[in-house]
């Protein structure tokens, strides 16, 4: 009798321990999460493989894209975020293919895939060590996701435990321009954001 009771107790104990372990252990996404380097606007933030600085975030209701004489207008149910900055590889040639806008409430927005590849956005570019280059990131987000947003950049989304840079932006979400034009240039800087200011 005693022995049966002891077995039942041991079984219950094992169940309790397993249940506790299942619910206290960190999530898979936390175990494999990237190694984050954070910073603010207008300064160079260093990760182990690359560095990034962001100079400017502009918000607009409509986005025009001019590539070699052709112009296309992109409307949105939210707003467009146009982010400019500079990125540099530190030790080896690499690509930065993952860019995200993390809203203040933790919702993720990825780089827009509506704008054609002729505009040199960050993911298509190659970064050479020692040669910093300008980056352009464009996001489409609802208006309430603008204020308190963070830009998150990584080499790829698929590599666990890789570097990731997070830059907290300083946009209030109140200064929304009616429209912005991204013009692809033949010479000089690859693009211009109009109207200039």
Stretch that binds another protein, among 11-19, 110-118, 158-166, 169-177 (CB under 8 A): 110-118
Q: Which of 56, 68, 69 is nearest to 138 (CA)?
A: 56
If binding is defined by CB under 8 A, does position 90 make contact with another protein? yes
196 binds another protein (CB under 8 A): no
Q: Which is nearer to another protein, 22 or 196 (CB)?
A: 22
Query: Least CB distance from residue 103 to another protein, whole Å?
Result: 8
* Per rule CB under 8 A, count of chain residues that contact another protein: 31
Angle (nearest 5°) at CA 30 between 24 and 33: 165
Candidates 12-20, 106-114, 148-156, 158-166; binding stretch for another protein (CB under 8 A): 106-114
Determine the Cα–Cα distance for residues 64 and 145; give it in Å rounded to an integer. 21
The distance from CA 161 to its chain's CA centroid, rounded to whole angstroms, is 16
Residue of 4, 27, 68, 158 that binds another protein (CB under 8 A):
27
d(CA 118, CA 197): 24
Nearest 10 degrees: CA dihedral of 62, 183, 139, 160?
Answer: 170
* Binding residue for another protein, selected from 2, 5, 24, 29, defined by CB under 8 A: 29
Give the C-alpha distances (Å, rounded to integers) separating 162 from 48, 96, 109. Answer: 9, 12, 20
Of residues 40 through 79, those in contact with another protein by CB under 8 A are: 74-78
Work out how close the CB of 197 gets to another protein at its nearest, in angstroms, rounded to a whole number: 25
| Residue 108 is a binding residue for another protein (CB under 8 A) | yes
Asked if 98 and 154 count as a contact pair (C-beta separation under 8 A), the reply is yes
- Point out which residues bind another protein (CB under 8 A): 22, 25, 27-29, 74-78, 90-93, 106-110, 112-114, 126, 128-131, 140-142, 145
């Amino acid at each position: 009798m005693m022995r049966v009771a002891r077995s039942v107790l041991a079984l219950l104990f094992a169940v309790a321990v397993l249940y506790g372990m299942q619910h206290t252990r960190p999530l898979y996404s936390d175990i494999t999460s990237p190694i984050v380097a954070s910073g603010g606007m207008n300064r160079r933030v260093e990760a182990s493989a690359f560095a990034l600085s962001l100079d400017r975030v502009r918000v607009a209701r409509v986005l025009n894209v001019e590539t070699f004489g052709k112009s296309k207008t992109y409307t949105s149910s939210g707003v467009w975020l146009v982010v400019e900055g500079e990125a540099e590889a530190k030790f080896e040639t690499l690509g930065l293919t993952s860019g995200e806008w993390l809203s203040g409430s933790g919702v993720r927005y990825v780089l827009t895939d509506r704008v054609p590849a002729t505009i040199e956005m960050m993911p298509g570019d190659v970064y050479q060590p020692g040669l910093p280059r300008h980056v352009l990131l464009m996001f489409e987000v609802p208006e309430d996701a603008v204020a308190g947003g963070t830009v998150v950049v990584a080499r790829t989304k698929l590599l666990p435990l890789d570097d990731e840079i997070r830059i907290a932006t300083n946009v209030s979400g109140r200064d929304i321009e009616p429209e912005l034009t991204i013009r692809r240039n033949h010479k000089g800087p690859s693009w211009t954001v109009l109207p200039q200011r």
